[in-house]
Amino acid sequence: MPRVKGHYRQERAKRAELFKSQRASYGSMAAAKRNNVSIRPIGEGELGAMRGVWKAAGLPYRPKGRDSLKNLEKQRRSCPGYFLGAFKDGRLIGVSLVTDDGRKGWINRLAVHPDAQRKGIATLLISESETILRRRGMRLLCTHIEVGTDGSFALFKKLGYHVEKDILYLTKRDNESY
């Protein structure tokens, strides 16, 4: 495949910009660590608090369907290390659900309590989620972002994610609560 003139310069510029944004994000992660934030799997008894973070952060969820405590407990039991929480002083302040389909890794349901936003918590959760997925052999990392969550969209872009313009997301729901 022939190279387009200037291709290497463009690629080098993209990598430099990505590195610069990642360095800024690592600074956010360091700030989160300095603030005694720990990332660990969410326990079964903490699922209600997880839904509380979603609600406080304004992340839409379906408490009578896919996000019911019964369904979340079942999902967490099947992949306990994939439900990540950010904790400060024993309080759950951030959440990320990690999944994979054997080909792609997914970071889902990322939310940080409003009192803890803009302190590097989301960056820390994304980084830990990516680490888990890479350990499982995932090399394509993806996320779904709810419309209206501009801060989340901007953060993922800053961390090197991009919009796939040639992919449409379609769903088929057996029940509207899913």
Nearest-5° Cα angle at 37, 133 to 75: 40
- Report, in angstroms and rounded to the nearest whole number, the Rg of the chain calculated over CA atoms: 17
Q: What percent of the chain has pLDDT over 90?
A: 55
Identify the pLDDT of residue 26. Answer: 43
Instruction: Give pLDDT tens digits for 110-142.
Output: 999 999 999 999 999 999 999 999 999 999 999
The answer to whether domain 8-158 has CATH 1.10.4160.10 is no
Rounded Cα distance, 169 and 106, in Å? 14
For 42-87, the pLDDT digits (tens) are 998 999 999 999 999 998 888 888 888 999 999 898 887 899 999 9
Q: State which H helix or E strand residue 134 sits in.
A: helix 121-135
Residue-range domain boundaries for the chain: 8-158
